[in-house]
Structure 1
């Protein structure tokens, strides 16, 4: 049998059909059930036209159905295009249109958010048709999945990754993680992020169990958290979870990736969790998840490297003339080998610019990463920075030019720049002077007074951006400047962009002060988390608008549970935007669950019942 991304899963299912493959709050599936359901769906997809070279979109919420869909697409011979139901409709529609996707898998819960155009197959609704032709044989060079990454031209670009690269990636994980307990692998990454490939298939192709959660911030809330033995984690997310004391109790190994890893965090991971082994992995999507991967020992003093090159990757550190540099000298990282992607979907020019002929190996290609590195004397790679304006934020790759293009496309904005401050994107805008405010003045008109915040302008701009960009690409703060700072050559000087002014709660309008003891207590907690004066917090201001994020919600849930002696979960907090609504919920003497939470739990119960029903009927 030809080795593919999914072939080892099939072998595991035949060998251990009764072993649990997926644990989730919405239900669990054994290997046998997952095998049967994905095969039945694959046959349906083949009848609908799936096959090699045919992308199939997957717009499914994070239930076991997501794994059924991914495996079914692969078994049908197609490649899967992950479509996160939480992404803006405009971005989902672009990905479908740009990739040429004509077939899409979804569920009743996510169908309404699916882009128009493709033929839609709804899991659990559509009647299974008679099987057509058997799926075509999948070859190592066939595309396994297409993941869209941020693009410097203002639009995302799809990376087509081969089965051969995926098989090599899994083999390399076997080598590096030998001896680790992979019986419970957390699946917390969005399927639009290639770390998800490492999570899902490292478990399912090696006989372990996946613990599927909505996101990393939901890890501690999972009913199966104590089953998790292995985590793949972005450093900034790990810091937030450690701050909140919200890590699963039985973690024994951790792989970091997606961002620069610091020694301080490694020390915390060893000290504050049960982890016995910690690893650091590096690699662009174009290289199939990672191209360097190695252990980070406890008790070290140096900052971690990004590990040695993997045994399947060709790694070069080159100068501007594409000449090799010796250990210790900084240069640009180029990668080749079996993990190299086909290129960018429908982007021949961009593919030619980034995927170059390998000057050291006739007939092969190498990918220009844009990362500055140097080899250590021990043969490991040390990351030094970027040659361009690409950044990594919580593991997601962001081209700042794409966000800037979206910002300057807003009618309120004349010029824009975007940088990363801490763990957040900050936008700097020079506003137009032609957008009248409601009072007749010029909204956000440029002034010589330096940087300032404008709540109305930020609200208008971020609303426009949120319609086309995923949340992680929308600036958390928008700073108004009279002009962007320029260097001697007339180009933007990003280093000269000022720190954002401190938010002045309530300064842009009347403030609604706390009116109950509960609201007062909540204001104190928010002030502690957001570094704000509790007396200045408007109880009707949204947590996110004041600088909050999903990781802080984990800490907020813990603080509220202790303060109010009432169980508060992260999913509950997603239902409330401000202190006023939180206070009403906490003060409800009846203990009744708000309708939005009750409805969500009823849907979850229905999904669990449906899963149990399918299992009982032998499907």
Structure 2
């Protein structure tokens, strides 16, 4: 077995040959390949002593610091597969993934220990333990490398296990696609709960490049290592936000877009307003190992970009309802096969049989029904048309609307509900819910907003769903619109009403508050008078992508540095205004909290060494931690 046959084999080989090169750069600290190799190998020994091995899922519940990479590599080197558990997800969501996958052991840190689901043994990186036999068992290509849970149409997420061989094929294909591109500094902006993170992490670490780790795309401009970034993979809406804020890294040379439809206007902006040399449009479901088609979008092309042609490791078909190839220009469902295809869903034999069907083109092989509608054009490229079901993507997150609706109806305040995606501002799509309240409707038959009721419902949803699946706006209706046959008519759901005024005493009064209300109103398409000082940006329909633009506009208006991290600390206009009016920009309490966070992050990087001598290892350097909040 060669190192190229596993997800992490390339990392091990490069670390042995080039231990002093920089592997990970983040505001929580940096790590060389040698240091990352040493710490992940030690973790693999600890995991092996606790029963980790091929076929055993090990949870990874760690904040976005270099320790996240230590944990992922340690699990892989123990021969096991990693189950990513974002500490920002709800306890219920994490608990389900752990129980459904049969995970019994979770790697974590002191900072994230409280987020770990109940019923699991927590291995805390900073707490050294004696190592015992047996030594780790090396993974083979057919072993699972990771399990990622995607949103489920039945209201239940489903686990997708991916083999090492599929990952190795994906990385080899990425080498071919990005040949000639500057890949020296790859940004990691995606939550590890999404498979795009696999491409980010391992196209860097398995190829000897530097991984620049940040909380999200919104935090990228504030990274102290932003000058290293030459390559980024993100969703179109996030790239639009960076462009609007004039916050694209100066050294960025390659952009990979995916997760949402890519428009020609965005590609033109990237080439016109940045130093980027290459723009790519990528497509692929989790079931196919990150991507299955790619399209280099050149500067001089006309028309909307296609999703390109199949990768050399994938079989992609556009078929009609009888599984016959659709003619050029005719729409059909997209089917996927090839080296990247998973064997099915974890513990879902019925759903696996439904979605993974025999491939009529290749005897003995299967293909996956993606549910996406596409067509072939005259150039032999695939054009994405839409979805055949109610699965949507918002800012790159894959969401089953039925799952959101199922959780909405679990709230006692909701009788029935629907969810759709609406364009919030030009180029920005938002998840919007419509609910019939259990308490009945006020006089009238039109839609209305209720800030208190919305806050109550969203708080409950936050405990049931990851943040990206919580609707940004909840519109209340006396009844949901129905079609003539009695089914929900999503096309008849009305646009959310506009809030004109707020109760007296809640409006902005100081010059700073009024200026902030004007800035918020311009970004959220609202009148400043409709924004109160206790409103939060998110409650009014804002999102993480707009935070970059908000920080930029506030910095210009108030002539001081404003970062995304500051907007996580001060979430409403009242607290923001007080902070801005403070000459220092920080209260004593804020300064003390920032010091505690910095101390915690430094201990995360330093604290899991196994002896006093390794704690002062010169290969690990620490930079002051940012005051970053959770990555949304």
Q: What range describes the TM-score normalised by the shorter chain of this pair?
A: over 0.9
SS in 1 for 2:207: coil
1:408 is matched with 409
Report whether the alignment pairs 1:583 with 2:589: no
2:498 is matched with 502
Report whether the alignment pairs 1:56 with 2:58: yes
- Report the more deviating stretch, 470-479 or 63-72: 470-479
Query: TM-score, normalization: structure 1?
Result: 0.95
Structure 1 residue 564, shift from structure 2 partner: 1.7
Tell me, in whole angstroms, the C-alpha distance in 2 between the residues paired with 1:597 and 1:331. 58
Alignment of 1:77-476 (within 5 A): 77-125=79-127, 127-422=128-423, 423-433=429-439, 444-445=440-441, 447-476=443-472
- Report the more deviating stretch, 396-405 or 556-565: 556-565
SS in 2 for 1:104: strand
1:437 is matched with none
Report whether the alignment pairs 1:533 with 2:539: no
2:549 is matched with 555
Closer, same or farther: CA 560–268 of 1 in aligned 2, 3 Å: same
1:603 is matched with 597
- Report the more deviating stretch, 585-594 or 209-218: 585-594
Structure 1 residue 336, shift from structure 2 partner: 0.6
Q: Retained in 1: the 8 A contact 2:436–2:479?
A: yes
SS in 2 for 1:453: coil
SS in 2 for 1:52: coil
Q: Retained in 1: the 8 A contact 2:260–2:394?
A: yes
Write out per-residue CA displacement over residues 83-132 of structure 1, whole angstroms, 9 at most, x where no aligned residue: 0001011111111111100010000000011111111100112x232242
Write out per-residue CA displacement over residues 113-169 of structure 1, whole angstroms, 9 at most, x where no aligned residue: 1111111100112x2322422222312111110111100111111111111110110
SS in 2 for 1:567: coil
Q: Retained in 2: the 8 A contact 1:585–1:594?
A: no
Structure 1 residue 458, shift from structure 2 partner: 1.1
Tell me, in whole angstroms, the C-alpha distance in 2 between the residues paired with 1:292 and 1:456. 45
Structure 1 residue 51, shift from structure 2 partner: 0.4
2:35 is matched with 33
Tell me, in whole angstroms, the C-alpha distance in 1 between the residues paired with 2:371 and 2:506. 49
Structure 1 residue 567, shift from structure 2 partner: 1.6
Q: 1:482 aligns with which of 478, 485, 494?
A: 478
SS in 2 for 1:410: coil
Closer, same or farther: CA 606–71 of 1 in aligned 2, 3 Å: same
Tell me, in whole angstroms, the C-alpha distance in 2 between the residues paired with 1:384 and 1:594. 54
2:13 is matched with 11
Q: Retained in 2: the 8 A contact 1:22–1:64?
A: yes
Query: TM-score, normalization: structure 2?
Result: 0.93
SS in 2 for 1:574: helix
Q: Retained in 1: the 8 A contact 2:498–2:526?
A: no
Q: Retained in 2: the 8 A contact 1:430–1:446?
A: no
Tell me, in whole angstroms, the C-alpha distance in 2 between the residues paired with 1:549 and 1:287. 29
Tell me, in whole angstroms, the C-alpha distance in 1 between the residues paired with 2:447 and 2:246. 36
Q: Retained in 1: the 8 A contact 2:500–2:529?
A: no
Structure 1 residue 56, shift from structure 2 partner: 0.3
Tell me, in whole angstroms, the C-alpha distance in 1 between the residues paired with 2:580 and 2:36. 41
2:629 is matched with none
Structure 1 residue 352, shift from structure 2 partner: 0.9
Structure 1 residue 610, shift from structure 2 partner: 5.8
Stretches of structure 2 that go unaligned for 5 or more consecutive residues are 424-428, 607-613, 621-632
Closer, same or farther: CA 594–57 of 1 in aligned 2, 3 Å: farther
Closer, same or farther: CA 447–54 of 1 in aligned 2, 3 Å: farther
Write out per-residue CA displacement over residues 411-461 of structure 1, whole angstroms, 9 at most, x where no aligned residue: 11111110000111111112223xxxxxxxxxx526542111122221121
Structure 1 residue 598, shift from structure 2 partner: 4.0
Write out per-residue CA displacement over residues 151-207 of structure 1, whole angstroms, 9 at most, x where no aligned residue: 011111111111111011001101110011110000010000111001000011111
Tell me, in whole angstroms, the C-alpha distance in 1 between the residues paired with 2:301 and 2:591. 46
Write out per-residue CA displacement over residues 41-66 of structure 1, whole angstroms, 9 at most, x where no aligned residue: 00100001100110000000000000
Q: Retained in 1: the 8 A contact 2:31–2:619?
A: no
Tell me, in whole angstroms, the C-alpha distance in 1 between the residues paired with 2:330 and 2:202. 37
2:78 is matched with 76
Tell me, in whole angstroms, the C-alpha distance in 1 between the residues paired with 2:433 and 2:619. 53
SS in 1 for 2:453: helix
Structure 1 residue 377, shift from structure 2 partner: 2.1
Structure 1 residue 340, shift from structure 2 partner: 0.4
2:537 is matched with 543
Q: Retained in 1: the 8 A contact 2:508–2:514?
A: yes
Structure 1 residue 408, shift from structure 2 partner: 1.4
SS in 1 for 2:212: strand
Closer, same or farther: CA 597–233 of 1 in aligned 2, 3 Å: farther
Write out per-residue CA displacement over residues 272-326 of structure 1, whole angstroms, 9 at most, x where no aligned residue: 1111011111000000001101201112221000010011111111111111223
- Report the more deviating stretch, 541-550 or 470-479: 541-550
Tell me, in whole angstroms, the C-alpha distance in 2 between the residues paired with 1:610 and 1:445. 51
- Report the more deviating stretch, 318-327 or 603-612: 603-612
Q: Retained in 2: the 8 A contact 1:375–1:382?
A: yes
Closer, same or farther: CA 189–468 of 1 in aligned 2, 3 Å: same
